[in-house]
Copies of this chain bind each other. A is one copy, B any other.
């Protein structure tokens, strides 16, 4: 049934809403009452009679005892069980009790119920929250179960609870932050991908920063208790603004809502079926599910959400999807890739603005008709930057001579046709040549390039432009004139698990292009490496080393850092910039996703403890690579030592890294693939 339609064509899991029920040994009746007559999509129901205890039964040894399960696969088909029931594990279990009998009973029951749920093909079971701060035995047992579990998800119930009191008496028995409990549990279970979180939403919410952490964790469901609802003027349940915002956030992250608890809002009779008479009302009241008004409200919140923008819809399929690193063996781009690339009109608008400003600075109004500016586009592709340059010339009334240097002979064919088609023959010279080999007939006033990766310099723009600047006049302008990379620590359970699933070192020491979505950004970004162009200094060096300290806001609580999100911002010319750094990202530009540098071991950072991280850009004779490590709160190993796992190939001709146009083009390709593949995807 679902919560209704959100604008656009949303197929999110979060359309489905469940209800938590009591034990009922007549499951068909339970389903009929909760699903058919109302609008709930599934029930979260106990699988065993809660009065059952193994230790009271097994005194009679040897007999084959059957636990009092709610119903077998004969009363409901496995398909029905699977679509409509989430198994609720007996909530009395306490595997970390001091009472050994209770502990043993709990383990037996937990294993019996999961085995039964597996037999019924359930998709998920809800595990009760650990009873105390200690959960090692519970986690050990769940971990054993996870080792043999085929498809089922285990949702560990965790209250969304964090005291604002950040006094450092962590030793006190009062659990201050339920995230810590989750964190211990999942660390003991080694980030198992089938273990996720069911958050209990209470009437009081912790700080926004503290809640933010959960968006990087594998939260599958949010259980909203009826006593967390307020009452609106008409007597109906509603949620506080902050609760509304939280639930919208969950909807955006495919989290399903479950309603739990007794109805606490008695809806005035006259408001139900307003056009009906009194007797009808009575009948309606009998049939009506007691939690119907809570469900209606959640449906209202769902339908009220902003529809997805076109860009969001395109990017939807790429959310939190790790893209394989560059394939240096690939060569020339395909026409479709160029076409996709050229659709990012915002990017070319920015280039055009930058070129216009540069032309105006270069040629005073008085000389506009006499002076001709020599502009070279390095890596011209099918010509979008040539077009932007010519439009800038027209806009500013400056005369231009353009060299379009491109090594892909296929793209050159298109370029030549374009020149003829547009009548640019007198202005544009096509150079079908590898940049490194080109003997330029004159020097350029302006050198235009777009060789940037998601992390700025990661596609060897610095090395390419170091080589190309020999064509540039001493006072010439490079567009871009500089670029800077940025990083910030993130919680990203899904990305971490995806990297881990490869079970090797190489994938943990590789940077990935990824549309970040289900992540928690834990601190503002900080700049890493900057490159300026042109750069004529004698001891020029493209190696870099940066030490950075991040402070996670104190009210966030402890956090798990799975790695670092990387971005760039480029100054094309003066105040015209272009980039994806979140606080100043160019709007509506889709050519670049972020980059993700994983950590081999996620690092837990306590409140007030700084996170110190080191990034190196290393240059060898044949390749360029990054190394990274954390030194505080505790040192990690160096990642990607000597570029053993991940590198970008540079020229091997000389010790001095020089332009490698082959690589540069490949570099450009890497971000294009993103969009192309997305388009192919839909």
Asked if A526 is at the interface of the complex by the 8 Å CB criterion, the answer is: no
B147 touches A629 (CB 8 A): no
> Given A136-B629, A140-B616, A629-B136: A190 and B638 within 8 A (CB)?
yes
Report B-chain residues with C-beta under 8 Å of the C-beta of A545: 103, 137
Nearest CB on B from A382, distance (A): 40
Asked if A252 is at the interface of the complex by the 8 Å CB criterion, the answer is: no
- Main secondary structure on A side of the interface with B: mixed
- Which of B143, B601, B641 touches A147 (beta carbons < 8 Å)? B641
A614 touches B187 (CB 8 A): no
Report B-chain residues with C-beta under 8 Å of the C-beta of A147: 641-642, 644
Asked if A284 is at the interface of the complex by the 8 Å CB criterion, the answer is: no
For the complex, what is the distance from the CA of A265 to the CA of B541, rounded to whole Å?
51
Report B-chain residues with C-beta under 8 Å of the C-beta of A541: 104
For the complex, what is the distance from the CA of A21 to the CA of B604, rounded to whole Å?
46
Report B-chain residues with C-beta under 8 Å of the C-beta of A355: none
A188 touches B635 (CB 8 A): yes
B604 touches A601 (CB 8 A): no
Asked if A68 is at the interface of the complex by the 8 Å CB criterion, the answer is: no
A140 touches B629 (CB 8 A): yes
Report B-chain residues with C-beta under 8 Å of the C-beta of A134: 547, 631
Report B-chain residues with C-beta under 8 Å of the C-beta of A184: 631, 635
Asked if A634 is at the interface of the complex by the 8 Å CB criterion, the answer is: yes
Nearest CB on B from A192, distance (A): 9
A189 touches B638 (CB 8 A): yes
Report B-chain residues with C-beta under 8 Å of the C-beta of A468: none
Report B-chain residues with C-beta under 8 Å of the C-beta of A417: none
Nearest CB on B from A471, distance (A): 22
Asked if A636 is at the interface of the complex by the 8 Å CB criterion, the answer is: yes
A143 touches B638 (CB 8 A): yes
Copies in the complex: 2
Q: Interface residues of A, CB < 8 Å — how many?
A: 35
For the complex, what is the distance from the CA of A134 to the CA of B613, rounded to whole Å?
12
For the complex, what is the distance from the CA of A134 to the CA of B614, rounded to whole Å?
11
Q: Which of A148, A641, A644 has the most CB of B within 10 A?
A: A641
Asked if A126 is at the interface of the complex by the 8 Å CB criterion, the answer is: no
> Given A641-B147, A642-B147: A635 and B140 within 8 A (CB)?
no
Asked if A156 is at the interface of the complex by the 8 Å CB criterion, the answer is: no
Nearest CB on B from A411, distance (A): 37
A629 touches B188 (CB 8 A): yes
Asked if A490 is at the interface of the complex by the 8 Å CB criterion, the answer is: no
Nearest CB on B from A335, distance (A): 42
A136 touches B547 (CB 8 A): yes
Q: Which of A104, A147, A183, A635 has the most CB of B within 10 A?
A: A635
Asked if A627 is at the interface of the complex by the 8 Å CB criterion, the answer is: yes
Asked if A110 is at the interface of the complex by the 8 Å CB criterion, the answer is: no
Asked if A307 is at the interface of the complex by the 8 Å CB criterion, the answer is: no
Q: Which of A144, A183, A616, A627 has the most CB of B within 10 A?
A: A144
Asked if A477 is at the interface of the complex by the 8 Å CB criterion, the answer is: no
A631 touches B148 (CB 8 A): no
> Given A188-B629, A629-B188, A631-B188: A638 and B139 within 8 A (CB)?
yes
B140 touches A187 (CB 8 A): no
Asked if A637 is at the interface of the complex by the 8 Å CB criterion, the answer is: yes
Nearest CB on B from A653, distance (A): 15
Report B-chain residues with C-beta under 8 Å of the C-beta of A143: 637-638, 641
Mask: chain A, 579-614; 1 = CB below 8 Å from B; 0 = not? 000000000000000000000010010000000001
Closest to A656 in B: B61
Nearest CB on B from A45, distance (A): 29
Known pairs A140-B641, A188-B629. 13 more at Cβ < 8 A?
Answer: A136-B547, A136-B614, A137-B545, A140-B629, A143-B637, A147-B641, A147-B644, A184-B631, A187-B634, A187-B636, A187-B637, A188-B637, A189-B638
Interface of A toward B, CB cutoff 8 Å = 103-104, 134, 136-137, 139-140, 143-144, 147-148, 183-184, 187-190, 541, 545, 547, 601, 604, 614, 616, 627, 629, 631, 634-638, 641-642, 644
Enumerate 19 A-B pairs (CB-CB under 8 Å) in ascending A order.
A134-B547, A134-B631, A136-B631, A139-B638, A140-B614, A140-B627, A140-B629, A144-B641, A144-B642, A147-B642, A147-B644, A148-B642, A184-B635, A187-B636, A187-B637, A188-B631, A188-B636, A189-B637, A190-B638
